[in-house]
Structure 1
Amino acid sequence: MNARTDAHASDSTRERLIEAISVDGPIAAGDLAERFHLTGAAIRRHLSQLHAEGIIEEKEAPNRPRGRGRPRKEFVLAAKAPDTDANSRECESLALLAMRELERAGGHEALVTLAKARTSEWEAEFERRYERENARGEVPPSKRVRLVIDLLKELGYAASLRPVTVTVGPPGKDGASTRTLTTVQMCQGRCPVQDIAAKHPELCEVETAALSRMLGVPVQRLSTRAAGAHVCTTHLTPAMSAAIAESMAEGELASDVTTDLLTEGRKP
């Protein structure tokens, strides 16, 4: 293998790692090494380089008991990953300028109208795809949410589903264990308009409403990258979550995430 081939293989691995981290992060180095059949030394080298370039960040794994060793680290896409594309930066600057002038001319409602025009195109495309599926037979919740996720991926969002074990209520006085249920969250590890949405949250608010209509159920946005979180998280209703979990194989959902409903921060 010559130097050019080595460089191409390294670039390919790097791109696949960034994609995996954006979709499934937080994710541990060991899980990435196993997924891509890399040695411990190789995965550490790639992750160290991505971390040094500011593309990924380290997070201490939540809800893991601390042992005598070092806490396990997991990786996410950096909230402010560097943008080396001058054209992208110029387009973003122009979009921010346009929105500022639009707000000056028409106020908050003008921004909301613009945001709705953006997501209305998503909804129209979703309806076309949904109708094609519906013509073949009943569309189950798992297929409906998959249509939404596939559309978001095409729009530049790294979207995935994650099962979440939710604690319902405190332990009983008699020492009985708490009840738990498995719900499902939609996660977006990348946002093409992140910096713009940070200054104009109307984009996130209108996007959440559009997701609710496409999914056909109420949803709750728990966090956004625009507000500084490492992933946009949208909580689905327990009824839809149960239907999805029932009709999808375990392996079809992204890596397991455990959380506690009583302590989970819900503000973006």
Structure 2
Amino acid sequence: MAHPARAAGGRDTHEGQTRAAIVQLLVEHGPITAPEIGEQLGLSAAGVRRHLDALIDAGEAEAAAPPRRQGRGRGRPARRFQLTAVGRARLGHSYDDLATAAMRHLREIGGEAAIEDFARRRVQSILSGVDPAGQDVETVAEEIADSFSESGFAASTRRVGTGVQICQHHCPVSHVAEQFPELCEAEEEAFVEILGTHVQRLATIANGDAFCTTHVPILPAKEPPSS
């Protein structure tokens, strides 16, 4: 017979692992519905609701604003859930205070130019493996997202209308970027340089949004001149 304390400890560990898996889905795929979470993790509807309720009560998750209705479909759209700023902070922002202090010191000794140079070098390091030569814009955007994911940003792309959006669902330096927007600006400049087209930053985690979103237009291919 299992010892009661030992059994309780096992349940707590399993519960913690399940909740961590749900948080990871909210990071990488949020806003996401409860049925989608249950399908990916093999959880019952009641189990998903219990964990989501606990995260919402702790202020770590919230129901996302419903999308604008398109057309007149029947029924109410399923609620989607996403992490809050509190939830993202719980993921861990290692050495935030140290990084912020170092950036302030860099500004004191080198001015704004030193901050901007550091931000550019940081993004160049993240994207050093992306080679746009001979590739279409959408493929390059996917490579950019992959490079950011490898650096902890949980990035992805999605096709939207006549463009593609690069979404960063997590930002390990968001607390620093709140005080040093040069970090975000350098990312946008790097996107323009690599993609060879203008881009539009729609949202950033540093400004309190659920994730960073950059829209990249895809221009229609030019038709060859008629003979």
Please give the range of the TM-score, normalised by the shorter of the 2 chains: 0.7 to 0.9
Q: Which runs of 5+ in 2 are unaligned?
A: 222-227
Counterpart amino acid of residue 130 in structure 2: F
Q: Which one is further off, 196-205 or 21-30? A: 21-30
SS of aligned partner of 2:111: helix
Render the CA deviation track for 1:32-87: whole Å, top value 9, x for unaligned: 223323221111011112223333222231213899x9875321121233656899
Q: Which residue of 2 aligns with 1:124?
A: 128
Q: How does 1:148-227 map to 2 (within 5 A)?
A: 148-164=144-160, 181-227=161-207
Cα separation, 1, equivalents of 2:21 and 2:113: 40
**Poorly superposed stretches of 4+, deviation over 6 Å:** none
Query: Contact 2:96 / 2:176 at 8 angstroms: preserved in 1?
Result: yes
Q: Which of 76, 86, 109 is matched with 1:80 structurally?
A: 86
**Residue 12, structure 1, aligned to residue 17, structure 2:** yes
CA RMSD, 1 decimal: 3.1
| Distance 1:215-1:7 versus aligned 2 partners, 3 A rule | farther
Deviation of the 1:198 alpha carbon = 0.7
Q: Which of 72, 78, 101 is matched with 2:105 structurally?
A: 101
- Identity percentage over the alignment? 36
Cα separation, 2, equivalents of 1:214 and 1:95: 27
Q: Which residue of 2 aligns with 1:171?
A: none
Cα separation, 2, equivalents of 1:221 and 1:100: 25
Cα separation, 1, equivalents of 2:12 and 2:135: 45
Deviation of the 1:23 alpha carbon = 1.8
Counterpart amino acid of residue 233 in structure 1: T
Q: Which residue of 1 aligns with 2:45?
A: 40
| Distance 1:191-1:39 versus aligned 2 partners, 3 A rule | same
Aligned length: 215
Query: Contact 1:148 / 1:214 at 8 angstroms: preserved in 2?
Result: no
Q: Which runs of 5+ in 1 are unaligned?
A: 165-180, 243-268
Deviation of the 1:190 alpha carbon = 0.5
Cα separation, 1, equivalents of 2:167 and 2:124: 21
Q: Which has the higher contact order (CA 8 A, sep 6+)?
A: 1
SS of aligned partner of 2:205: coil
Q: Which residue of 2 aligns with 1:144?
A: 140
Counterpart amino acid of residue 219 in structure 2: A
Cα separation, 1, equivalents of 2:14 and 2:168: 27
Cα separation, 1, equivalents of 2:154 and 2:140: 17
